[in-house]
Structure 1
Amino acid sequence: MSLAGRLEDLALADIFQILSIGKKTGTFLVKGTKGTALIVFKNGLIVRAETDDLDGTLADFMLKAGMIRETVFQMAVEVKKKLPTQSLADLLLDLGAISREVLEQATRKRIEHVIYRLLLWEDGDFQFELDDLEIGDKTELQDLGWELSKGLSPEYLLMEGARVQDESAESSFDPTQAFTVEDHGQKEETDAGTGWDDNWGETPAAERKDITALKSLTQELRFPNSTSEITLLVLRLASDIFQRGVLFMAGKNQIIGLGQFGIEVDRADEKIRGIVLSLEMSSFLKKIVTEQMPHKGPLEKDDITLYFMDEIGGPWPAEAAFFPIVAEGKVAAVLYCDNAISRDPIGETEGLEIFISHAGLALEKSLLQRRIHEMEKGRG
């Protein structure tokens, strides 16, 4: 399979979902007015990403972060002049200037930055070559960085990249800035005061994460590029409120795993897409889908919910939440969320419920546009 086209016609989110769901292996190249980029996929996961739209190479980033010494960096640069096909990261590892573990951490951060930057591109011609990992002279990029031993989920990168874009609109975030790899899981607390808390009772704005995030995401939902973008927006907002979640696509008598956040099992995305929950065998789940109403409270134990919890791992949640996404009068998807790891109680979800209602309307609009397009195509 060779996939080629323009970013103007096929959004990056759609391309990533095609390659991720299909567990594709190969090289993805894109060239636009902002530069050139390379992404390497293995079994649907991203193991390498580079672009000349960022200042410097992976090695430059590590130097700025104080992870390597200037003298060793310059030595690697001189060696590369004689071995141009070798990346500076490879040479630094060979020189003993950095450990493999730290290099992997730095590469994960570099890949995140590359994807974040690509999300800003408005144009570009792309091509994906299936099962072709020989980069050779396919790209003008001078340094190809490092290949991860364990790839990153495209869905996660898209979700985090879109979140960074939202944050950058309110701050001076620079995706080219130097980074550290110490504990980037911790986030600084920021002032969430927006004035919205005056309109939503006496609960402080800092506690209403759903309402704060709702402001920025609702605007994006008005003009989605695809149905996959709608589902990613839902997962993004939910991940601000809950520790983990799974989005299911609804069928006639079953719901099928589509995407996730916070699920800590090996190959989480692949495992989630393999989960099929029968509604006929779970009166608890069937009631949620039939009534088309959110459920927040205990997760009833039956054969299906026991199987589901076993698949996603972790302790049995004290509370769980299900949010049906309704389009054209039918449940099109179901969002499951919990805080099972910390055992924290479920907080306010009014903002998320409002957003999910808007997501259903956006899905209806997207389906209608698709039907109109198919009708016009048939007439042509």
Structure 2
Amino acid sequence: MSLTGKLEDLALSDIFQILSVGKKTGALIIKSEKGNALVLFKDGLVVKAESGILKENMARAFLTAGVINETTCSMIEGVKKKLPDKPIAEICLEMGAVTKEHLDKVARKRIESVVYGLLLWEEGDFQFELDTFDVNDKIDFYDYGWEISKGMSPEYLLMEGARVHDEVSHQRVNPDEEQLFDMDEQGEGEEEWGGPAVAERKDISSLRSLTQELRFPNSTSEITLLILRFASDLYQRGVLFMIAPEEMAGLGQFGLDIEMADEKIRETVLEIDRSSFLKGIIESKQPYSGPLEEDEGTRFLIQLFGDKWPGEVALFPIIAEGRVVALLYGDNLPTGEPFAESEGLEIFINQAGLALEKAILQRRILEMGG
């Protein structure tokens, strides 16, 4: 598979979707005036990311996190200076300064920071090298990082990156990569980012920030990502299903704590007749919030999601051209905390249905023209 081009023609979100859905393994190299970046994929999941825009190397990251002291950090950097081809991660392990768990944790933060920064890159060249991680001759970094043991979902990274970007945008007119990194490090619980009153109406805040993006989507996959992004602000877990006349098929998810969650959801197909409860929701075309009725179909889904029955669920049919084309599921496991208000999400889903109608119409016009 050859995937080469410009970010002006193919957005990062689309590139990630292609590699994720295709379960590709290889190295994505991105070069622009803002810097260079490297993102490694294994079976469609992100396992490493490095960029010149990161503020500190891995040794300094361990120092900042309090895992090592200044003396140890200087020793690691000294070895790296003498042996520039030796990865900092290997130096740390050989010195006994950190564990593999420490490396995984720091590497995951670096992956998040790189992807969040890349979301701001609108110009540049990209190239995907299939089935190889050996790209040192194609891109030059001080250090090439650490490959994490359990890959990260590209969909999760895109949703979280967009959320962080939205929060920064509300505070500053022109966010840059450094602001995104600072925001990522602060976490989500800072009182100065809203306080109780704002937290109660996350749906309205998300509605304002995401509606503009929904006006000019690049593809139907971008619309589904926006729906999942919005829902992830209100629910701890969520799954989006595509609805066909007789069955429902998984499209994407967030928050599921199961192995290879994205892959399992995309492989899931459920005959609608197996669940009278879900069939009723689909036929009503109305959102639902309350207990999940138990039947053959819902038992199948909950077993897939992790086998713990939720006390409350939210279901939102997405309508295009007069019929339900998708169904959004949400719950608040594992905490089980009460749902936030969701009027904003309902409004957004109505708008998403209209955007899907527009995308379907445009595709038909193109097919007729071809």
1:143-167 deviation line (CA, Å, top 9, x unaligned) = 1111101111111110000000011
The total of aligned residue pairs comes to 365
For 1:131, give the aligned amino acid. D
Q: Do residues 290 (structure 1) and 273 (structure 2) align? A: no
Q: Do residues 54 (structure 1) and 47 (structure 2) align? A: no
State the distance in 2 between where 1:127 and 1:93 align: 32
State the distance in 1 between where 2:68 and 2:184 align: 13
Q: Do residues 268 (structure 1) and 273 (structure 2) align? A: no
1:211-240 deviation line (CA, Å, top 9, x unaligned) = 222121112222222222211211111111
Q: Which moved more, 1:40-49 or 1:203-212?
A: 203-212
User: Could you tell me how far 1:328 is from its partner in structure 2?
Assistant: 1.9
Q: Do residues 4 (structure 1) and 9 (structure 2) align? A: no
State the distance in 2 between where 1:245 and 1:370 align: 28
When residues 282 and 179 of structure 1 are mapped into structure 2, their CA distance, relative to the original with a 3 A threshold, is closer
Cross-structure match for 1:309 = 302
For 1:236, give the aligned amino acid. R
Cross-structure match for 1:198 = none
For 2:88, give the aligned amino acid. L
Cross-structure match for 2:248 = 255
State the distance in 2 between where 1:81 and 1:192 align: 44
User: Could you tell me how far 1:113 is from its partner in structure 2?
Assistant: 0.2
Q: Do residues 132 (structure 1) and 144 (structure 2) align? A: no
Cross-structure match for 1:152 = 152
Percent identity over paired residues: 57
Q: Do residues 277 (structure 1) and 282 (structure 2) align? A: no
Are the equivalent residues in 1 in contact too, given 2:58–2:145 (CA < 8 A)? yes
Cross-structure match for 2:77 = 77
Q: SS state of the match for residue 335, structure 2?
A: coil
Q: SS state of the match for residue 300, structure 2?
A: helix
1:149-200 deviation line (CA, Å, top 9, x unaligned) = 11111111100000000111123672344987xxx8762345648xxxxxxx
Cross-structure match for 2:200 = 207
1:26-47 deviation line (CA, Å, top 9, x unaligned) = 1111111211111111111111
State the distance in 2 between where 1:226 and 1:276 align: 23
State the distance in 2 between where 1:257 and 1:343 align: 23
For 1:134, give the aligned amino acid. D
- 5 Å-filtered alignment, 1:76-225, equals 76-171=76-171, 174-177=179-182, 187-190=189-192, 192=194, 205-225=198-218
State the distance in 1 between where 2:99 and 2:52 align: 25
TM, length-normalised to structure 2: 0.91
1:295-353 deviation line (CA, Å, top 9, x unaligned) = 22222211111111111014212222211111222222110111243333434211110
Are the equivalent residues in 2 in contact too, given 1:50–1:111 (CA < 8 A)? yes
Q: SS state of the match for residue 221, structure 2?
A: helix
State the distance in 2 between where 1:55 and 1:192 align: 27
For 2:130, give the aligned amino acid. L
State the distance in 2 between where 1:207 and 1:55 align: 34
Q: SS state of the match for residue 46, structure 2?
A: strand
Q: Which moved more, 1:324-333 or 1:77-86?
A: 77-86
State the distance in 2 between where 1:131 and 1:310 align: 34
1:246-305 deviation line (CA, Å, top 9, x unaligned) = 011122211111111111111111121121111122222222222322122222211111
Cross-structure match for 2:324 = 331
Are the equivalent residues in 1 in contact too, given 2:59–2:76 (CA < 8 A)? no
For 2:316, give the aligned amino acid. F
Indicate the RMSD between aligned Cα atoms, in angstroms. 2.3
What is the aligned counterpart of 1:319 among 312, 320, 323? 312
For 1:349, give the aligned amino acid. S
Q: Do residues 352 (structure 1) and 345 (structure 2) align? A: yes
State the distance in 2 between where 1:127 and 1:54 align: 21
State the distance in 2 between where 1:72 and 1:191 align: 36
Q: Which moved more, 1:118-127 or 1:68-77?
A: 68-77
- Structure 2 stretches of 5 or more lacking a match? 173-177
Are the equivalent residues in 1 in contact too, given 2:246–2:272 (CA < 8 A)? yes
- 5 Å-filtered alignment, 1:341-380, equals 341-376=334-369, 378=370
User: Could you tell me how far 1:118 is from its partner in structure 2?
Assistant: 0.5
User: Could you tell me how far 1:65 is from its partner in structure 2?
Assistant: 3.7
What is the aligned counterpart of 1:242 among 232, 235, 239? 235
Q: SS state of the match for residue 49, structure 2?
A: strand
State the distance in 1 between where 2:68 and 2:151 align: 24
